[in-house]
Amino acid sequence: MYKLTTLGYAILGLLLQPMTGYGIRKVFELTPMGEYSSSPGSIYPALKRLEKELLIEQYIDFEKSVSGKKLYKLTTSGRKELKNWCLKEADLSDVQNRMNEIMLRFVFMEFFVETGIVIKFLKSVKENIDIYIEQLIGYYEKDKLSMPIHASLALEQGIGMIRANSRWAQHAIETITNNIHSD
Amino acid sequence: MYKLTTLGYAILGLLLQPMTGYGIRKVFELTPMGEYSSSPGSIYPALKRLEKELLIEQYIDFEKSVSGKKLYKLTTSGRKELKNWCLKEADLSDVQNRMNEIMLRFVFMEFFVETGIVIKFLKSVKENIDIYIEQLIGYYEKDKLSMPIHASLALEQGIGMIRANSRWAQHAIETITNNIHSD
DNA sequence: CCCCCCATGTAACATGTTACATGATTGA
DNA sequence: TCAATCATGTAACATGTTACATGGGGGG
């Protein structure tokens, strides 16, 4: 069966609000979601694939304008696919290699699941982040004396990044928890 | 003319010390350089390309073992190519989209340039990082009220990461500066 | 009327992924 | 001798990059 790329999921998530292919391109071009390419050679083929898999469909919007713009939106199946993807639990290798994907799932998760699930997700992310930090520190302690200075500084940079993520996860847990109680 | 990928430069840098293709694969598989794929389907074709471009070459090492292992090493041209790449200055778009490449250049730079140049490089990196932080904060301030809570948290994560990089750059500048004076 | 932005596409190309395949060494 | 690791490769495939191309609409 067909396996979506991260770009595919990013597009699905954006289509929680119907838009044109060009609209998607502009999001990638002008917002902090810019890590995904906005080139027509990546977006339009990706949309065709999603449409072929019946995850998205086009419809004509007569509400807003007389001319009737063609917008893409999620199908029921597409919404389900996106939801399942968001609900997957984040393991160590996700944290090590695909933090961007974890963040994307976190963003779209908001529209599907109760706060309890989100907190559980974030706690598991933080646990794996902390395991990863220990691994990196282990590597650092073992080899720092023999490593060239730039290599050791580069490793410190990696540790600094992932530590920032650990703090963020904690912050996110607290923010969302407080958000419940202020309802 | 031929344009190397980041993987290509990563391999060139590793070949500052001669090794086999398998050796390179093991580095990517077992060390914090693991962001590059270690699959044979990526490494061996990449080596062939570098060899075709006369940036690396194989030789038989009789020093270490009688059997004589075939190792790759940099050619003069390859060393020059690597050096030029390391010396390129890092602009804003590098900092926004290719921080991993900047770190790679920083690591290999150690073997080519005087400390003064390294400091200059790091200062320019930090300046661009700080510009980028301002951009992200601008985006955040403008839209945080209208943004869904998860999106706003995700943006905070991005800001946290890049802030960690700014602190790291400052730390690296100081470490390297102190290193001069302790000679 | 002309330029800019909206809007969508395609073709050639290089790269990387996954899976398969082979043979040599080496330590238990 | 048998399994694990060293060591190198290839083929099919999907994706993304770069560059080119087209046409409509709106504002100055």
Q: Are B68 and B60 in contact (CB under 8 A)?
A: yes
Q: Cα A31 to chain center, whole Å?
A: 14
Tokens of A142: 């073992």
The predicted pLDDT at position B65 comes to 53
Report the alpha-carbon distance of residue A56 to residue B48 in Å, rounded: 41
Judged against a pLDDT cut of 90, whether residue A68 lies above it is answered with: no
Nucleotide nearest to B3 (CA to C1'): C14
pLDDT confidence of B67, banded at 50, 70, 90?
low
Predicted confidence (pLDDT) at residue B1 exceeds the cutoff of 90: no
Q: Please check whether residue A138 touches B, CB under 8 A.
A: no
What value does the mean pLDDT take over residues A24-30?
A: 97
Closest residue of chain A to B118, computed from CA coordinates: A150
Q: Does A181 score more than 80 pLDDT?
A: no
pLDDT of residue A60: 86
Whether A22 CB is under 7 Å from strand C: yes
> How many C-beta neighbours within 10 Å does residue A65 have?
8
Q: Chain A closest CA to B70's CA: distance in Å?
A: 25
Residues B73/B29, Cβ–Cβ less than 8 Å: no
Are B107 and A151 within 8 A, CB to CB?
Answer: yes
Q: Is the CB of A7 under 7 A from strand D?
A: yes
Instruction: In whole angstroms, give the CA distance from residue B94 to residue B6.
Output: 12
The string of pLDDT tens digits covering residues B128-142 is 999 999 999 999 999
With distances taken from each CA to the C1' atom of nucleotide D5, the closest residue turns out to be: B22
What single DSSP character describes residue A71?
E
pTM: 0.94
- Sort out which chain A residues have CB atoms less than 8 A from B168's CB and list them: 153, 156-157, 160
Only one residue has tokens 């290699």, namely A97
Residue A66 has pLDDT above 80, yes or no: no
Checking if the pLDDT of B68 tops 70, the result is no
The average pLDDT across A39-45 equals 98
pLDDT band, very low/low/confident/very high, at A30 (cuts 50, 70, 90): very high
Contact between A100 and A35 (Cβ < 8 Å) = yes
Any idea which nucleotide's C1' is nearest the CA of B6?
Answer: C15
Which candidate from A97, A153, A179 shows the least CB-CB separation from B175? A153
**Alpha-carbon distance B74 to nearest alpha carbon in chain A (angstroms):** 19
A91 interface with B at CB cutoff 8 Å: no
Calpha distance B35→B42 (Å, rounded):
13
Confidence of residue A65 (pLDDT cuts 50, 70, 90): low
Tens-digit pLDDT profile for residues B39-61: 999 999 999 999 999 999 999 87
Asked whether strand D has any atom less than 7 Å from the CB of B59, the reply is no
Question: Quick one: pLDDT band at residue B63, thresholds 50, 70, 90?
Answer: low
Answer yes or no: do B160 and A167 touch at CB < 8 A.
yes
